[in-house]
Amino acid sequence: MCKSPLHPLLVALPKCEHHMHLEGSLAPSLLFSLAHRNGISLPSPDDDPAFASPDTLLDRYARFTSLDDFLRYYYIGMSALTHAEDFEALAWEYFVRAHADGVVHAEVFFDPQAHTSRGIRYETVVDGFITGCRKAEKEFGMSTKLILCFLRHLPVSEAVSTFDNAKNDLMTGRLAGIGLDSSEKGFPPGAWKVIYDQAQDSNIKRTAHAGEEGPVEYIKEALETLNIERIDHGIRLAEDETLMREVARRNILVTLCPLSNVWLHCVDSVAELPVRTFLDNGVPFSLNSDDPAYFGDHYILDNWCAVQEAFSLTVGEWKNIASTSIKGSWCEDNRKNVMLSTLDGVVDAHAKAR
């Protein structure tokens, strides 16, 4: 818990999450349980001592050296997911934690290629995740969206096949849009132009990871070549003032993941992130948890608290961040209006309590 006097407000504010990988919420305890249930062999502790127990694996997660170091364990974890019920259980565990942190709307990523490449049917993955989403909507009253991501370390041709397979779900709204994730360095986003052009022609929402470990030029390329409507991570944006002003002018949301950036050594501390720069220059952004099970079990509230500890934001600035997150969501206007009304009520109640 942060020590700021605004902590009760941070807890109460309605939160929208736009950057959270469902596979990245796979806690070691659930990983070991699913692997045992499904007869999946995890690496031997003789080969990697991290896999001696859930606790030793969690300890290894605290010592990631880079994005690619993290991704190695991320993809090993996915191997335990086999049945639709596994994907449902994974989604449900995330939504329980998100609800406890005050999330009222969640737009979550998933990586179908990581599963179809090992023989799991696309439908199994989507059906399981959607069941988890519907359960969260019913039990918690939150709204949810699923965003399909392509893995940039795999051939573009495989992404094309995945897009073709998912096209009906994307066109009908069963899936909310497409994204691009995985290893960034050495994989400039323009290679996926053929998919993003088709998505734009079909009015499918588009986002992409850019400017996390990769250079600011990747952000520019994603905007100009892929015509993305949202920037995931985007911490290098502040290095190009002209591009930053353009993003602000076009009101393109940047989905920051503060603690993830520290855990993967993109920055040394949250204070190095361009939060103040974005606020001062009118760049819209949201604050998100990315892959919380791998990054210290830090879900969205911890990220909000870390930002408050680093920047000492005002009530007005937090209201602006929460409002921007709501307005930048890929949900219907009537849902946004409900969340904005809730936000006003929370801020008013905080003011009266002072």
Residue with tokens 């495989």: 158
Q: Which residues, listed in sequence order, are joined to residue 283 by a DSSP beta bridge? A: none
- The active-site residue, picked from 23, 184, 212, 229, is 212
CA torsion through residues 240, 245, 249, 254, sign: positive
Q: How far apart are the first and last CA of the chain?
A: 20
For the question of residue 93 being annotated catalytic, the response is no
Amino acid making up residue 16: C
- Angle, to 10 degrees, between the axis of helix 122-140 and the axis of helix 156-172? 40
Return d(Cα 39, Cα 347) in angstroms, integer. Answer: 50
Distances in Å between the Cα of 13 and the Cα atoms of 115, 299, 339, 344 are 35, 15, 10, 9
Distances in Å between the Cα of 70 and the Cα atoms of 57, 62, 143, 270, 298 are 12, 10, 29, 19, 15
Q: Which residues contact 171 (CB under 8 A, 6 or more apart)?
A: 202, 204
Which residues are part of the catalytic machinery?
212
